[in-house]
A and B are shown apart, each in its own frame.
Chain A
Amino acid sequence: MNTPANLKYTKSDEWFDPASGKTGITDYAQNQLSDIVFIEIFVEAGETIEAGKAIASVESVKASAEIYSPASGKVAAVNKELPNKPESLNTDPFGEAWMIQIEGGSAGEVMDAAAYEKYCEERAH
């Protein structure tokens, strides 16, 4: 499992990059969902959002999940390419498959990489 140390993580398996403001789903999440075939992002650039708000919906071949914002702030950008390449959520969840970028964002309830790894391990048992 890949858990970059520079990112923050939520209990609902989103990541947040405090440096860039970008957010997406974790390697653990994509692995649990298996092959992702559809992503719809609900929010648009310019919107102000609260941490915990549903920002996207992801469908895999066998499950569907809502994605929640890990931070509050203004949506600076939305990854418009992502809906055309839902499979990149499986192959590059921390890079190409970022979902939205939050400007001046303050993270909600998040943990660091070590705590998130432990949290994932606990759920595996």
Chain B
Amino acid sequence: MTYIPISPKERDAMLETVGVKSLDDLFDAIPVKHRFPKLNLPPALTEMEAMDELSGLAQTNENVRNDLVSFLGAGMYNHYIPSVVDHMLRRGEFYTAYTPYQPEISQGTLQAIFEYQSLMSALTGMDVSNASHYDGATATAEAVNLAYAQFRGKRKKVVMSPGLHPQYREVVRTYTQGMGVDTAGDDEAGIGLSPEAFADQVDDNTCLVIVQYPDFFGRVYDYTKFIDAVHAKGSLVCVVANPTALAMFKTPGSMGADIVVGDGQPLGIPMWYGGPSVGFFTTRKNMVHKMAGRLVGETVDNRGQRAYVLTLTAREQHIKRERATSNICTNQGLIALGTAVYLSVLGKKGFRQVAELCYQKAHYTATQLSKVKGYKLSHNEPFFHEFTLQCPEPVTEINAHLLEHGIIGGYDLGQDYPSLANHMLIAVTEMNSKEEIDAFVEVMSEVSHD
């Protein structure tokens, strides 16, 4: 499609209207000597030289594909990505995708988003999914917007579990600045509370309670009774879920959650340098008019053929203006497509196998580490592929030692939770072989002998 913004005739008419002769006249305000200042740049490189320089720089990076073994998670996870995911993403039809306003020329993109939405609804056990958000943290903040709008601003408190990702809690606080929303509940003292005890924080001014599944410390709770207790107080519940865990655990939808969000990175998206990622957002049908973001629906065209279109646009900001519940309509189309390709390639069985491998390897790692003198598992609750380990030395020192052996250690929980100094959050996925796990445990035990 050609895009010609202006014809010479139109340009002349515009110049005449504003009263100048040429385009250059518009720059008269800038003194000639400042228009093209001499820049202190090295001489231009040939493509060959530039490639040499850039690959030299790239080689100083170390990555988890070739150089390092990783036991770091805390929101981003190292999973195997089938090669077909990248092949699909690099197709020009998808790679340059823009908002598919014109369904007659965008059926491929629209269908891809529709498939993504269907997969996310099935995974979370919810009725509807939007076309995605930037990442798990922004999707969580959008859940607050939805809940706040659902009660028309009459309930102003959001209760967040201390087991919700610390960065997600920060993003929620950033989003709600100036809205008059009160955020509460995430005191460190509450880390050891059961969800049922945590429900006591909910009052009749609470519009939303946010919990994580598994929580930031890796613990898996059945939130069914908790959600019932919160509902009895009239508040909505948002569950922030790890999508891989949903392959083997009960869905938040079946526990009664009103909103289920999370980060889609574990579904076939590389960790890159911490992003870009994709945030999934699913909810109940009765709240779809308050949901932010794009939504693709399936319909039939005037010849009775199956067709896909953007739907429910009347709730979006370009129509609702200041009455829209969110000003975000952007979705991560390309990355959302990556997750859809990943899930469809793995299939229901394959995806469950990934989850089971993560589960079993993480439990093997936890068992081995708990046998090492000086280390202790912090929690007794069931966990998925991540767990909290009490260490005999500061986590930064242990991690420095691990890195000398080519291993990225776990997340230092002390940086977010002062009471958890010397506590490491360890993630294990299908990518960690038994040999790697044994080597990891061995190096960890060297530290404890110091």
Contact = CB atoms under 8 A, between A and B. Distances in A.
Contacts of B152: 42
B149 to A, nearest CB: 10
B315 A59 contact: yes
A109 interface: no
Contact of B314 (A42, A62, A66): A62
Contacts of A37: 314
B58 interface: no
Kindly state the interface size class of chain B when it binds its partner. Answer: under 10
Contact of A63 (B289, B312, B319, B323): B319
Interface string A23-60: 00000000000000110101000000000000001011
Contacts of A63: 314, 319
B11 interface: no
A20 interface: no
A61 interface: yes
Question: What is the size category of the interface that chain A forms with chain B?
Answer: 10 to 19
B294 to A, nearest CB: 16
Contacts of A40: 289
A38 B289 contact: yes
Nearest to B320: A64
B50 to A, nearest CB: 50
A40 B289 CA distance: 10
A65 to B, nearest CB: 9
A64 B321 CA distance: 9
A64 B313 CA distance: 9
Nearest to A58: B314
Given A40-B289, A59-B289, A66 B323 contact: yes
Contacts of B320: 64
Interface centre among B152, B314, B323, by most A CB within 10 Å?
Answer: B314
B204 to A, nearest CB: 16
Nearest to A66: B323
Interface of B: 152, 289, 312-315, 319-320, 323
Interface of A: 37-38, 40, 42, 57, 59-64, 66
22 contacts: A37-B314, A38-B289, A38-B314, A40-B289, A42-B152, A59-B289, A59-B312, A59-B314, A59-B315, A60-B314, A61-B314, A62-B313, A62-B314, A62-B319, A63-B314, A63-B319, A64-B314, A64-B315, A64-B319, A64-B320, A64-B323, A66-B323
